Amino acid sequence: MSRFLNDRYLSLKEYVPGEQPRDMKYVKLNTNESPFPPSEGVVDAINADSVRLLKLYPDPDCSELREKIAGLFGYGKENVFVANGSDDILNFSFMAFCGADSHSVVFPEISYGFYKVYADLYGVDYTEIPLAQDFSVDPEDYIGIGKNIVIANPNAPTGLALDRATVERIVASNPDNLVLVDEAYVDFGAESCVGLVGKYDNLLVVRTFSKSYSLAGARLGFAIGSEGLIADLNKIKFSTNPYNINRLSMIAGCRAIEDNMYYMNNCKIIARTRRRVTEELRNIGFEVLDSKTNFIFARTPEMGGEELYAELKKRGVLVRHFARESIKDFNRITIGTDDEMNVFLRAVKEILGK
Protein backbone atom coordinates (compact mmCIF):
# COMPACT_ATOMS: atom_id res chain seq x y z
CA MET A 1 0.00 0.00 0.00
CA SER A 2 1.28 3.47 -0.77
CA ARG A 3 0.73 6.52 1.35
CA PHE A 4 -1.50 7.92 -1.38
CA LEU A 5 -4.42 5.52 -1.05
CA ASN A 6 -7.68 7.25 -0.24
CA ASP A 7 -8.56 6.66 3.45
CA ARG A 8 -11.90 5.33 2.29
CA TYR A 9 -10.22 2.16 1.00
CA LEU A 10 -7.83 1.46 3.86
CA SER A 11 -9.94 -1.34 5.30
CA LEU A 12 -11.38 -2.62 2.00
CA LYS A 13 -10.91 -6.38 1.65
CA GLU A 14 -10.68 -7.19 -2.02
CA TYR A 15 -12.18 -10.25 -3.73
CA VAL A 16 -9.80 -13.21 -4.04
CA PRO A 17 -10.33 -15.04 -7.35
CA GLY A 18 -9.74 -18.78 -7.67
CA GLU A 19 -6.18 -19.87 -8.43
CA GLN A 20 -5.03 -19.66 -12.05
CA PRO A 21 -1.84 -21.69 -11.60
CA ARG A 22 1.09 -21.55 -13.97
CA ASP A 23 3.38 -24.03 -12.18
CA MET A 24 2.02 -27.27 -13.64
CA LYS A 25 -0.86 -28.66 -15.64
CA TYR A 26 -3.82 -29.40 -13.41
CA VAL A 27 -7.18 -30.94 -14.02
CA LYS A 28 -8.68 -27.56 -13.36
CA LEU A 29 -11.99 -27.83 -11.53
CA ASN A 30 -11.75 -24.68 -9.43
CA THR A 31 -13.25 -21.69 -11.27
CA ASN A 32 -16.35 -23.04 -13.02
CA GLU A 33 -15.10 -22.54 -16.54
CA SER A 34 -16.50 -24.67 -19.35
CA PRO A 35 -14.41 -27.70 -20.29
CA PHE A 36 -15.50 -27.17 -23.91
CA PRO A 37 -13.96 -24.64 -26.31
CA PRO A 38 -15.98 -21.86 -27.94
CA SER A 39 -17.93 -22.89 -31.06
CA GLU A 40 -16.23 -23.08 -34.44
CA GLY A 41 -18.19 -19.96 -35.45
CA VAL A 42 -16.46 -17.98 -32.71
CA VAL A 43 -13.05 -19.42 -33.55
CA ASP A 44 -13.49 -18.52 -37.23
CA ALA A 45 -14.75 -15.01 -36.52
CA ILE A 46 -11.68 -14.05 -34.49
CA ASN A 47 -9.34 -13.87 -37.47
CA ALA A 48 -6.66 -11.66 -38.98
CA ASP A 49 -9.25 -9.22 -40.32
CA SER A 50 -10.91 -8.74 -36.93
CA VAL A 51 -7.50 -8.29 -35.30
CA ARG A 52 -6.52 -5.63 -37.84
CA LEU A 53 -9.63 -3.68 -36.85
CA LEU A 54 -8.31 -3.39 -33.30
CA LYS A 55 -6.81 -0.08 -34.42
CA LEU A 56 -10.36 1.34 -34.12
CA TYR A 57 -12.40 1.82 -30.97
CA PRO A 58 -15.29 -0.61 -30.55
CA ASP A 59 -18.96 0.45 -30.84
CA PRO A 60 -19.71 2.10 -27.45
CA ASP A 61 -23.41 1.35 -27.92
CA CYS A 62 -22.68 -2.38 -28.52
CA SER A 63 -25.69 -2.35 -30.86
CA GLU A 64 -25.18 -5.62 -32.71
CA LEU A 65 -24.47 -7.66 -29.61
CA ARG A 66 -27.37 -6.13 -27.69
CA GLU A 67 -29.72 -6.78 -30.59
CA LYS A 68 -28.61 -10.40 -30.85
CA ILE A 69 -29.09 -10.99 -27.12
CA ALA A 70 -32.44 -9.20 -27.17
CA GLY A 71 -33.55 -11.38 -30.09
CA LEU A 72 -32.62 -14.56 -28.25
CA PHE A 73 -34.82 -13.65 -25.29
CA GLY A 74 -37.65 -11.87 -27.11
CA TYR A 75 -36.92 -8.37 -25.81
CA GLY A 76 -35.75 -5.13 -27.41
CA LYS A 77 -32.20 -3.79 -27.46
CA GLU A 78 -33.26 -1.17 -24.89
CA ASN A 79 -33.81 -4.03 -22.40
CA VAL A 80 -30.24 -5.30 -22.73
CA PHE A 81 -27.04 -4.04 -21.14
CA VAL A 82 -23.66 -5.60 -21.90
CA ALA A 83 -20.41 -5.24 -20.02
CA ASN A 84 -16.94 -6.60 -19.40
CA GLY A 85 -17.99 -9.76 -17.56
CA SER A 86 -21.00 -9.97 -15.27
CA ASP A 87 -18.68 -8.75 -12.48
CA ASP A 88 -18.72 -5.42 -14.30
CA ILE A 89 -22.53 -5.41 -14.26
CA LEU A 90 -22.65 -6.25 -10.56
CA ASN A 91 -20.17 -3.45 -9.97
CA PHE A 92 -22.27 -0.96 -11.94
CA SER A 93 -25.45 -2.15 -10.22
CA PHE A 94 -24.07 -1.61 -6.74
CA MET A 95 -22.81 1.80 -7.87
CA ALA A 96 -26.11 2.75 -9.51
CA PHE A 97 -28.74 1.35 -7.18
CA CYS A 98 -27.29 0.69 -3.72
CA GLY A 99 -26.47 3.05 -0.88
CA ALA A 100 -28.06 3.95 2.43
CA ASP A 101 -31.66 3.99 3.73
CA SER A 102 -34.08 3.06 0.94
CA HIS A 103 -31.13 1.99 -1.23
CA SER A 104 -29.73 -0.49 1.30
CA VAL A 105 -29.30 -4.06 0.11
CA VAL A 106 -29.55 -7.63 1.37
CA PHE A 107 -27.97 -10.79 0.04
CA PRO A 108 -27.42 -14.32 1.34
CA GLU A 109 -24.57 -14.74 3.81
CA ILE A 110 -23.18 -17.64 1.79
CA SER A 111 -23.18 -16.57 -1.85
CA TYR A 112 -20.92 -15.05 -4.46
CA GLY A 113 -18.23 -13.31 -2.39
CA PHE A 114 -18.09 -10.28 -4.64
CA TYR A 115 -21.46 -8.88 -3.42
CA LYS A 116 -19.94 -7.99 -0.07
CA VAL A 117 -16.83 -6.53 -1.71
CA TYR A 118 -18.91 -4.19 -3.89
CA ALA A 119 -21.07 -3.24 -0.92
CA ASP A 120 -17.93 -2.34 1.05
CA LEU A 121 -16.35 -0.57 -1.91
CA TYR A 122 -19.30 1.78 -2.27
CA GLY A 123 -20.01 2.14 1.44
CA VAL A 124 -23.42 0.57 0.98
CA ASP A 125 -25.63 -0.24 3.94
CA TYR A 126 -26.04 -4.03 3.64
CA THR A 127 -27.28 -7.07 5.55
CA GLU A 128 -26.20 -10.65 4.97
CA ILE A 129 -29.06 -13.11 5.47
CA PRO A 130 -28.07 -16.58 6.73
CA LEU A 131 -29.01 -19.58 4.63
CA ALA A 132 -31.46 -22.17 5.95
CA GLN A 133 -30.09 -25.23 7.74
CA ASP A 134 -29.99 -27.18 4.47
CA PHE A 135 -27.94 -24.40 2.80
CA SER A 136 -30.89 -23.21 0.70
CA VAL A 137 -32.02 -19.59 0.37
CA ASP A 138 -35.24 -19.28 2.39
CA PRO A 139 -37.54 -17.10 0.26
CA GLU A 140 -39.57 -16.04 3.31
CA ASP A 141 -36.54 -14.06 4.50
CA TYR A 142 -36.87 -11.84 1.41
CA ILE A 143 -40.64 -11.49 0.97
CA GLY A 144 -41.62 -7.85 1.50
CA ILE A 145 -38.25 -6.99 3.04
CA GLY A 146 -38.36 -3.47 1.54
CA LYS A 147 -34.66 -3.36 0.64
CA ASN A 148 -32.76 -4.01 -2.54
CA ILE A 149 -32.06 -7.72 -2.97
CA VAL A 150 -29.20 -9.49 -4.71
CA ILE A 151 -29.49 -13.24 -5.10
CA ALA A 152 -27.54 -15.67 -7.21
CA ASN A 153 -29.97 -18.20 -8.62
CA PRO A 154 -28.72 -20.89 -8.68
CA ASN A 155 -26.69 -19.84 -5.69
CA ALA A 156 -22.93 -20.24 -5.52
CA PRO A 157 -21.12 -22.08 -4.07
CA THR A 158 -24.03 -24.29 -2.99
CA GLY A 159 -25.46 -24.89 -6.48
CA LEU A 160 -29.02 -24.88 -5.09
CA ALA A 161 -31.75 -23.04 -7.00
CA LEU A 162 -35.13 -21.46 -6.30
CA ASP A 163 -37.84 -22.04 -8.88
CA ARG A 164 -39.14 -19.16 -10.98
CA ALA A 165 -42.45 -18.85 -9.12
CA THR A 166 -40.58 -18.39 -5.84
CA VAL A 167 -38.31 -15.69 -7.24
CA GLU A 168 -41.40 -14.01 -8.70
CA ARG A 169 -42.97 -13.89 -5.23
CA ILE A 170 -39.87 -12.12 -3.93
CA VAL A 171 -39.90 -9.64 -6.84
CA ALA A 172 -43.64 -8.96 -6.59
CA SER A 173 -43.49 -8.40 -2.84
CA ASN A 174 -40.79 -5.72 -3.10
CA PRO A 175 -42.14 -3.46 -5.87
CA ASP A 176 -40.23 -0.39 -4.67
CA ASN A 177 -36.87 -2.08 -4.51
CA LEU A 178 -34.53 -3.58 -7.05
CA VAL A 179 -34.25 -7.37 -7.15
CA LEU A 180 -31.08 -8.39 -8.96
CA VAL A 181 -31.04 -12.06 -9.89
CA ASP A 182 -27.56 -13.25 -10.83
CA GLU A 183 -28.16 -16.13 -13.24
CA ALA A 184 -24.51 -16.93 -13.99
CA TYR A 185 -25.24 -20.67 -13.81
CA VAL A 186 -28.87 -20.87 -14.87
CA ASP A 187 -28.25 -22.62 -18.20
CA PHE A 188 -27.14 -25.79 -16.45
CA GLY A 189 -30.60 -26.72 -15.24
CA ALA A 190 -32.42 -24.00 -13.27
CA GLU A 191 -35.42 -21.86 -14.25
CA SER A 192 -34.57 -18.43 -15.60
CA CYS A 193 -36.46 -15.28 -14.59
CA VAL A 194 -35.68 -13.46 -17.84
CA GLY A 195 -39.29 -14.02 -18.94
CA LEU A 196 -40.50 -11.97 -15.95
CA VAL A 197 -38.65 -8.82 -16.93
CA GLY A 198 -41.56 -7.56 -19.07
CA LYS A 199 -43.84 -7.83 -16.04
CA TYR A 200 -41.69 -6.26 -13.29
CA ASP A 201 -39.75 -3.02 -13.68
CA ASN A 202 -37.80 -3.79 -10.48
CA LEU A 203 -36.22 -7.01 -11.78
CA LEU A 204 -32.72 -7.08 -13.24
CA VAL A 205 -31.45 -10.43 -14.49
CA VAL A 206 -27.68 -10.68 -14.84
CA ARG A 207 -26.07 -13.32 -17.05
CA THR A 208 -22.61 -14.20 -18.30
CA PHE A 209 -20.87 -15.68 -21.31
CA SER A 210 -18.19 -17.08 -18.97
CA LYS A 211 -19.78 -20.40 -18.06
CA SER A 212 -22.33 -21.86 -20.48
CA TYR A 213 -20.86 -19.98 -23.46
CA SER A 214 -17.22 -21.04 -22.90
CA LEU A 215 -15.99 -17.43 -23.04
CA ALA A 216 -14.56 -16.77 -19.57
CA GLY A 217 -11.42 -15.34 -21.19
CA ALA A 218 -13.40 -12.89 -23.34
CA ARG A 219 -14.97 -11.17 -20.30
CA LEU A 220 -18.54 -10.66 -21.41
CA GLY A 221 -21.70 -10.36 -19.36
CA PHE A 222 -25.19 -9.04 -19.99
CA ALA A 223 -28.22 -7.90 -18.07
CA ILE A 224 -31.87 -7.89 -19.02
CA GLY A 225 -34.23 -5.46 -17.38
CA SER A 226 -36.72 -2.65 -17.85
CA GLU A 227 -35.73 0.20 -20.13
CA GLY A 228 -35.24 2.45 -17.10
CA LEU A 229 -32.85 0.09 -15.32
CA ILE A 230 -30.82 -0.41 -18.50
CA ALA A 231 -30.63 3.36 -19.04
CA ASP A 232 -29.31 3.74 -15.47
CA LEU A 233 -26.60 1.14 -16.08
CA ASN A 234 -25.64 2.91 -19.30
CA LYS A 235 -25.39 6.17 -17.39
CA ILE A 236 -22.79 4.57 -15.11
CA LYS A 237 -20.97 2.92 -18.01
CA PHE A 238 -20.75 6.18 -19.96
CA SER A 239 -19.51 7.89 -16.80
CA THR A 240 -16.69 5.40 -16.29
CA ASN A 241 -15.58 3.51 -19.40
CA PRO A 242 -17.73 3.87 -22.54
CA TYR A 243 -15.68 1.33 -24.52
CA ASN A 244 -15.92 -1.35 -21.87
CA ILE A 245 -16.17 -4.25 -24.32
CA ASN A 246 -13.33 -4.79 -26.73
CA ARG A 247 -13.93 -5.52 -30.42
CA LEU A 248 -12.89 -9.18 -30.29
CA SER A 249 -15.14 -10.01 -27.36
CA MET A 250 -18.03 -8.26 -29.08
CA ILE A 251 -17.52 -10.41 -32.19
CA ALA A 252 -17.18 -13.54 -30.06
CA GLY A 253 -20.41 -12.77 -28.22
CA CYS A 254 -22.37 -12.18 -31.43
CA ARG A 255 -21.17 -15.43 -32.95
CA ALA A 256 -21.79 -17.34 -29.74
CA ILE A 257 -25.45 -16.26 -29.78
CA GLU A 258 -25.73 -17.47 -33.39
CA ASP A 259 -24.32 -20.83 -32.25
CA ASN A 260 -26.64 -21.04 -29.25
CA MET A 261 -27.56 -24.69 -29.93
CA TYR A 262 -23.93 -25.80 -29.57
CA TYR A 263 -23.68 -24.19 -26.14
CA MET A 264 -27.04 -25.42 -24.87
CA ASN A 265 -26.06 -28.92 -25.91
CA ASN A 266 -22.78 -28.59 -23.97
CA CYS A 267 -24.84 -27.60 -20.92
CA LYS A 268 -26.82 -30.82 -21.24
CA ILE A 269 -23.60 -32.85 -21.42
CA ILE A 270 -22.28 -31.07 -18.32
CA ALA A 271 -25.55 -31.67 -16.45
CA ARG A 272 -25.37 -35.38 -17.33
CA THR A 273 -21.79 -35.62 -16.08
CA ARG A 274 -22.81 -33.73 -12.93
CA ARG A 275 -25.53 -36.27 -12.18
CA ARG A 276 -23.09 -39.15 -12.62
CA VAL A 277 -20.38 -37.61 -10.44
CA THR A 278 -22.95 -36.69 -7.77
CA GLU A 279 -24.15 -40.26 -7.66
CA GLU A 280 -20.64 -41.73 -7.52
CA LEU A 281 -19.63 -39.41 -4.68
CA ARG A 282 -22.81 -40.20 -2.75
CA ASN A 283 -22.06 -43.91 -3.19
CA ILE A 284 -18.78 -43.44 -1.34
CA GLY A 285 -20.35 -41.51 1.52
CA PHE A 286 -20.21 -37.90 0.39
CA GLU A 287 -22.98 -35.42 1.05
CA VAL A 288 -23.50 -33.62 -2.26
CA LEU A 289 -25.96 -30.73 -2.48
CA ASP A 290 -28.50 -30.95 -5.30
CA SER A 291 -26.74 -28.78 -7.87
CA LYS A 292 -28.39 -27.07 -10.83
CA THR A 293 -25.05 -25.62 -11.97
CA ASN A 294 -21.77 -26.66 -13.59
CA PHE A 295 -20.26 -27.42 -10.19
CA ILE A 296 -21.08 -29.47 -7.13
CA PHE A 297 -20.62 -28.66 -3.47
CA ALA A 298 -19.64 -31.73 -1.51
CA ARG A 299 -18.27 -32.91 1.82
CA THR A 300 -17.23 -36.22 3.31
CA PRO A 301 -17.38 -37.09 7.01
CA GLU A 302 -14.01 -38.81 6.54
CA MET A 303 -11.83 -35.79 5.86
CA GLY A 304 -11.88 -32.02 6.30
CA GLY A 305 -12.49 -29.89 3.22
CA GLU A 306 -9.11 -28.20 3.28
CA GLU A 307 -7.22 -31.46 3.62
CA LEU A 308 -9.11 -33.04 0.75
CA TYR A 309 -8.43 -29.94 -1.36
CA ALA A 310 -4.70 -30.19 -0.57
CA GLU A 311 -4.52 -33.94 -1.26
CA LEU A 312 -6.29 -33.47 -4.59
CA LYS A 313 -3.92 -30.65 -5.51
CA LYS A 314 -0.93 -32.92 -4.81
CA ARG A 315 -2.44 -35.30 -7.35
CA GLY A 316 -2.87 -32.58 -9.97
CA VAL A 317 -6.58 -31.92 -9.41
CA LEU A 318 -7.56 -28.39 -8.48
CA VAL A 319 -10.90 -27.72 -6.73
CA ARG A 320 -12.08 -24.70 -4.70
CA HIS A 321 -12.13 -24.62 -0.92
CA PHE A 322 -13.62 -21.77 1.10
CA ALA A 323 -12.26 -21.17 4.61
CA ARG A 324 -15.52 -19.75 5.96
CA GLU A 325 -16.49 -21.67 9.10
CA SER A 326 -19.99 -22.85 8.09
CA ILE A 327 -18.81 -24.34 4.79
CA LYS A 328 -15.24 -25.29 5.57
CA ASP A 329 -15.95 -29.03 5.30
CA PHE A 330 -17.02 -28.62 1.67
CA ASN A 331 -15.23 -28.30 -1.61
CA ARG A 332 -16.70 -26.79 -4.74
CA ILE A 333 -15.89 -28.96 -7.72
CA THR A 334 -16.41 -27.70 -11.28
CA ILE A 335 -17.84 -30.27 -13.66
CA GLY A 336 -15.31 -30.93 -16.41
CA THR A 337 -15.34 -33.50 -19.19
CA ASP A 338 -16.13 -37.10 -18.36
CA ASP A 339 -12.42 -37.92 -18.61
CA GLU A 340 -11.47 -35.11 -16.24
CA MET A 341 -14.10 -36.21 -13.76
CA ASN A 342 -12.81 -39.77 -13.91
CA VAL A 343 -9.36 -38.48 -12.93
CA PHE A 344 -11.00 -36.55 -10.09
CA LEU A 345 -13.01 -39.56 -8.87
CA ARG A 346 -9.97 -41.86 -9.02
CA ALA A 347 -7.96 -39.36 -6.97
CA VAL A 348 -10.75 -39.02 -4.37
CA LYS A 349 -11.02 -42.79 -4.01
CA GLU A 350 -7.26 -43.14 -3.67
CA ILE A 351 -7.13 -40.42 -1.00
CA LEU A 352 -9.96 -41.98 1.01
CA GLY A 353 -8.71 -45.55 0.47
CA LYS A 354 -11.88 -46.69 -1.34
Enumerate binding residues for ligand PMP (CB under 6 A).
Answer: 85-87, 112, 152, 156, 182, 184, 208, 210, 216, 221
Nearer to ligand PMP, 152 or 296 (CB): 152
> Nearest approach, Cβ of 106 to ligand PMP (angstroms)?
16
Nearer to ligand PMP, 153 or 300 (CB): 153
> Nearest approach, Cβ of 46 to ligand PMP (angstroms)?
18
Nearer to ligand PMP, 87 or 187 (CB): 87
Nearer to ligand PMP, 121 or 351 (CB): 121
> Nearest approach, Cβ of 344 to ligand PMP (angstroms)?
20
> Nearest approach, Cβ of 160 to ligand PMP (angstroms)?
12
> Nearest approach, Cβ of 154 to ligand PMP (angstroms)?
8
Nearer to ligand PMP, 45 or 205 (CB): 205
Nearer to ligand PMP, 119 or 347 (CB): 119
3-state secondary structure the chain: CCCCCCHHHCCCCCCCCCCCCCCCCCEECCCCCCCCCCCHHHHHHCCHHHHHHHHCCCCCCCHHHHHHHHHHHCCCHHHEEEECCHHHHHHHHHHHHCCCHHHCEEEECCCCCHHHHHHHHCCCCEEEECCCCCCCCCHHHCCCCCCEEEEECCCCCCCCCCCHHHHHHHHHCCCCCCEEEECCCHHHCCCCCHHHCCCCCCEEEEEECCCCCCCHHHCCEEEEECHHHHHHHHHHHHHHCCCCCCHHHHHHHHHHHHCHHHHHHHHHHHHHHHHHHHHHHHHCCCEECCCCCCEEEEEECCECHHHHHHHHHHCCEECECCCCHHHCCCEEEECCCHHHHHHHHHHHHHHHCC
> Nearest approach, Cβ of 345 to ligand PMP (angstroms)?
24
